[in-house]
Amino acid sequence: FQIYVINSDGTGRRQITNLPEGACQPDWSPDGKRLVFISPCDTINDYYPGSAMYIINDDGKGLLPLPTLAGGDYDPKWSPDGSKLAYARPDSIGIVDTKSGELESLIDFTPYQPKTDWAWVPSIHWSSDGSVLFTVVNNNYEGDQSADSYDLAAILLDTKRIIPLVSRCGLFCYPNPSA
């Protein structure tokens, strides 16, 4: 798999990435000049162990690998001002400073991996002003690791405080705030 861009009328198809192990889960920077994505991802999966984040210019040049941790990074999202990237992992949610490359973990948790090679990775979305990350967290109700023990929550980035929004919405609650 590679990342391509194309005009809305179907013309101007152009390949952006050319990585032997593939590229997926792209997200455009707010200014439309760069993409963040993960690699490797050479097959269709929900789980890409060992994946890392990369930034590339819209012309396919300037490939920049970002610092990563073991286990893989997933579904990176640009902050509204382009200064940070949010990422999700099977065991944490964090942000990366796009200038320094510094990683900061916001939440660490026990991975939900139900006796398979698959692991759940939470969905993440920024607030329109970049001060909050919306996600799903396991509140571990009395040691409960079941799929319905997960809550929709907001992480206030200035204090790292987690505010529960919807209790027991389940693993596949997908936050998508309006502007």
Please write the tens of the pLDDT for every residue from 70-97. 667 888 999 999 999 999 888 889 999 9
For residue 176, give both structure tokens. Answer: 């998508």
Euclidean distance between the first and the last CA atom of the chain, given in angstroms as a whole number: 32
For residue 15, give both structure tokens. Answer: 């390949």
* Half-sphere exposure at residue 177, Cβ-oriented, CA atoms within 13 angstroms: 18
Give buried/exposed letters for 161-174 (b at 16+ CB in 10 A, else e).
Answer: ebeeeeebbebebe
Cα–Cα distance for residue pair 89/18, rounded to 1 Å: 24
Residue position matching structure tokens 């948790």: 109
pTM: 0.85
Output the pLDDT for position 167: 83
Asked if 110 and 138 touch (Cβ cutoff 8 Å), the reply is yes
The pLDDT confidence band at residue 44, using thresholds 50, 70 and 90, is confident
pLDDT in tens, 46-72: 667 788 899 999 999 999 998 877 667
Of 37-46, 87-96, 150-159, which gets the smallest average pLDDT? 37-46
State the amino acid at position 147 in one-letter form.
Answer: A
Asked if 4 and 13 touch (Cβ cutoff 8 Å), the reply is yes
pLDDT at 117 over 90: no
Q: Is the peptide bond before 40 cis (omega within 30 degrees of 0)?
A: yes
Output the pLDDT for position 90: 80
